[in-house]
Amino acid sequence: MHYSILKKTRIIVALLFFSLTLFSFIDMYEFMPEAWTSNIIFIQFAPSVLRFIQVLSLSAGGFIVVILLSFLLGRVYCSTICPLGILQDMFTFVARKRNKKKVFLKFKKAYPYVRYVLLSIAIASFIAGSSLLINLLDPYSNAGRIFTYLVKPVFVWINNVVAGILQEQKIYSFHIIELFQTSWAITSYVLLFLLSIAYLSYKRGRLFCNLICPVGTLLGLISKNALIKVRLSTDSCTKCGKCASACKSECIDLKNQVIDYSRCVACYNCLPVCKDNAIRYSLPSKNNTSKINLIKGEKKMDRRGALTTLLAITASTTILAQHGRGHEHGKGHQHGKGKGGFGHRPPYKLSKREHPVTPPGTKSTERFNSLCTACGLCISACPTNVLQPAIMEYGLIGFMQPHMNYAHAGFCNFDCTRCSDICPTGAILPLPIEEKQLTQLGKAVFVKRNCVVHRDGTDCGACSEHCPTKAVTMVPYRDGLVIPEVNQDLCIGCGACEHPCPVDYPHKAIYVEGNTIHQMAQKPKEEKGQYKPLEEDFPF
């Protein structure tokens, strides 16, 4: 068999998956339809499992395909589909090109206790209701955050430079795109993770996949008994070391002439370098005298690891507690007297929500926190940038999960359902536009003390003008002024009132207090004669 062709085919497929996944995150002009994005993400393991739990349908059964592939061909998911795995291969490729030593990699012992303990804790914590460990360890979600918070800003900057140059020449094929800057804490965390992955893969190949990644550990258990896999023939092997040097998983032990199949990622790097035909990719055969067992002691460890995983799952009855955050109160800034004789004004009142606002389709904060892997796909796709990664808005349990940031970012577009259309885990369920427009994410709260109408005797009304459901209206106040009034039964918590409020955060005169469980708002009544014909508005 021409193993070099097999290896090149694997590389082409891997680059195709990587490119499509990357483009789904950096698609600034929304060229890729939501259906395409869903199909690309369909086969990502952890998101597929979480979505399947929600919908119980084969339409979300991408992980089943991965498991079947693992039984048949080994860990091809890790070598051709996982974006973080492919990213590591890129760093390893650079390291190999820069390396001047004859032997680049060599066999290293496994750390099964570490692998199985991390897998057990991740599964147990998820069953207990927390997805935090999955958020931190899932390879797809980590790759998504790299694409969203590090790669996309670079592409947006390049786009804006090109758009600016073209627009000076009266060419408008590109337009300037505003990208909200994520907090330094999130950017620093993602950058640190990327540097760590780059270092590990540069020095040790797929060490992250075979030591830390729970998906890799689980698929490694399945792949040990794969039907077609790399097999080492002890009769033909001369122990030249070429295969071990090419193995990015460091799993070929030439001293004992065995392969640790729980760590083999089916990259096929070892196959074309063997000139003695001692390594083959084949079905089991009577003539094959390879030692296909694991390293001495590993089989025993597998039984212990499986038992540890089972016990951790069944015994898990606790969950990380999310401590309530008390409503903060503090003194605001003092300002001079406003016009109109309004006299001395009291200090501003803190307008800080006690509960964060989750995206439409999440149903409840608890459900959302237990399912979202913080991959950043919805944040990257949000047209108004209102979705931003949380730091401590949900507590530690929801680190990096998206929340609605009305004060600093934007507001939820009344006619947009993009985040729910592309969410790969089912944490944000698809909503028909009619239902989305009545889903109450939170309720607007008016703080009269902070309003410029009350404090400065100045006309405003920005909140009322932007409210799509007319939950905020202007009512007579004093001295011919009007002041906002909120009908919370009509409010859907979209933030269109909070975002344009001219008072600086955290002293907004109107803000949205999140609903921990989403409700349905009343449908606004349309007044007769509310809309005039176009000809009457513009008689000329």
pLDDT digits (tens, 9 = 90+) for 219-278: 999 999 999 999 999 888 999 999 999 999 999 999 999 999 999 999 999 999 998 889
> 3-state secondary structure string, 77-110?
HHHHHCHHHHHHHHHHHHHHHHCCCCCCCCCCCC
Q: What is the pLDDT of residue 338?
A: 41
Q: What is the pLDDT of residue 98?
A: 86
76 C-beta neighbours (distance < 10 Å), count? 23
Q: Six-digit token pair at 190?
A: 């993602």
Q: What angle do CA 482, 468, 438 make, to 5 degrees?
A: 125
Q: For 383-496, where are the alpha helices, taking DSSP H only?
A: 418-422, 433-436, 452-456, 462-466
Give the separation between CA 200 and CA 188, rounded to whole angstroms: 18
> Mind listing the pLDDT tens digit for each residue in 1-45?
589 999 999 999 999 999 999 999 999 999 998 889 999 999 999
- Pick the closest to residue 491 from 423, 440, 428, 435 (CA basis): 440
CB atoms within 10 A of CB 414: 15
How far is residue 180's CA from residue 410's CA, in Å, rounded to a whole number?
9
What is the token pair recorded at 454?
A: 């009350």
Reported as a pLDDT band with limits 50, 70 and 90, residue 342 is low
Considering the chain, what is the average pLDDT of its residues?
86
Contacts of residue 210, defined as CB under 8 A and 6 or more positions apart, other chains included, come to 110, 115, 216, 217, 220, 249, 250, 251, 262, 263, 265
pLDDT of residue 421: 93
Give the pLDDT of residue 339. Answer: 41
CB 149 within 8 A of CB 190: yes
**Global pTM value:** 0.86
Query: What letter represents residue 22's amino acid?
Result: L
Taking Cα atoms as reference points, which of 435, 442, 446, 498 lies closest to residue 467? 498
**172-212: pLDDT as tens digits:** 989 999 877 789 999 999 999 999 999 999 999 999 999 99
Distance CA 31, CA 28 (A): 8
Q: What is the CA radius of gyration of the chain?
A: 28
Answer whether residue 130 shows pLDDT above 60.
Answer: yes
Select the more confidently predicted residue: 307 or 215. 215
Q: What is the pLDDT of residue 415?
A: 94
Contacts of 148 (CB under 8 A, 6+ apart): 25, 375, 376, 377, 379, 380
CB neighbours of residue 58 within 10 Å: 10
What percent of the chain stands above pLDDT 90? Answer: 72
Q: Which domains does the chain have, with CATH numbers?
A: 3-313 (no CATH), 365-520 (3.30.70.20)
Banded model confidence at residue 90, pLDDT cuts 50, 70, 90? very high
pLDDT at 500 over 80: yes
Residue 103 near residue 241 (C-beta atoms within 8 A) = yes
Q: What does the pLDDT look like over 365-416, one tens digit per residue?
A: 999 999 999 999 999 999 999 999 999 999 999 999 999 999 887 899 999 9
Q: Do β-strands 472-476 and 439-446 pair in parallel, antiparallel, or remain unpaired? A: unpaired
